[in-house]
Chain A
Amino acid sequence: EAGVAQSPRYKIIEKRQSVAFWCNPISGHATLYWYQQILGQGPKLLIQFQNNGVVDDSQLPKDRFSAERLKGVDSTLKIQPAKLEDSAVYLCASSLGGMLGQFFGPGTRLTVL
């Protein structure tokens, strides 16, 4: 069974530029999460989707971050414009729900210069 796929793996941009990340969850997983992991910290949830609806986006900086999950499968996370403090690893995870656990992708490491 294929795992959670993310691309790109690495991205370097300058501040005020835009960037987008892509995630393809495990087939059949209805729930998809985006986490931000700043160096030296644990991951923090940015947004959670159930199929193509948003369940929780309370910690998403909506003035610059946006995310969508069209057709309830793939998802994209966008930052526009980026700030220096957005440098982090962006993790995508998916789950079937319940306490079966979340499965994480390899992450996208973003560096904002």
Chain B
Amino acid sequence: GNSVTQMEGPVTLSEEAFLTINCTYTATGYPSLFWYVQYPGEGLQLLLKATKADDKGSNKGFEATYRKETTSFHLEKGSVQVSDSAVYFCALSFQGGSEKLVFGKGTKLTVNP
């Protein structure tokens, strides 16, 4: 079946540190890939997405590149801020049909000043 595996959390960084959250997937076919973010007390928000191999999604300084050869979609940010503290979810979906999202377990990020 289709699944997403994220690195175990929690992750704690100091402000301005470099962030990487690993995400790999298993899928039959070629899914679209997403990163969602959940800030404390809020709902899930779409952070970025990529719909085909070698696409790079980017938003708010975050980036992720769709790597078909390694079935990965790692999230990166060059310099994190305290306001980036949240839970980050990697997810996949197939265009057409159900288009339901299959999520990883989430990675909690805490950024300290």
Identify the A interface with B (CB < 8 A).
Answer: 3-4, 31, 33, 35, 40-45, 48, 55-56, 91, 93, 95, 97-99, 101-107
Contact = CB atoms under 8 A, between A and B. Distances in A.
Contact of B89 (A42, A55, A98, A107): A42
Given A43-B101, A48-B100, 20 more contacts: A3-B43, A4-B43, A35-B101, A41-B105, A41-B106, A42-B4, A42-B91, A42-B104, A42-B106, A44-B103, A45-B100, A45-B101, A45-B102, A56-B100, A95-B99, A99-B95, A102-B46, A103-B46, A104-B43, A105-B43
A43 B95 contact: no
B20 interface: no
B81 interface: no
23 contacts: A31-B99, A33-B100, A35-B101, A40-B105, A40-B106, A42-B4, A42-B103, A42-B106, A43-B44, A43-B89, A45-B100, A55-B98, A56-B100, A97-B99, A98-B99, A99-B93, A102-B46, A103-B46, A104-B43, A104-B45, A105-B43, A106-B42, A106-B43
Contacts of A98: 95, 99
A38 to B, nearest CB: 10
Contacts of B51: 99
Contacts of A40: 105-106
A43 B89 CA distance: 9
A109 to B, nearest CB: 11
B66 interface: no
Nearest to A41: B105
A97 B68 CA distance: 24
Contact of A56 (B34, B89, B98): B98
B32 interface: yes
Interface in B8-60: 32, 34, 36, 42-46, 49, 51
A1 B10 CA distance: 34
A33 B103 CA distance: 14
A102 B91 CA distance: 12
Contacts of A45: 100-102
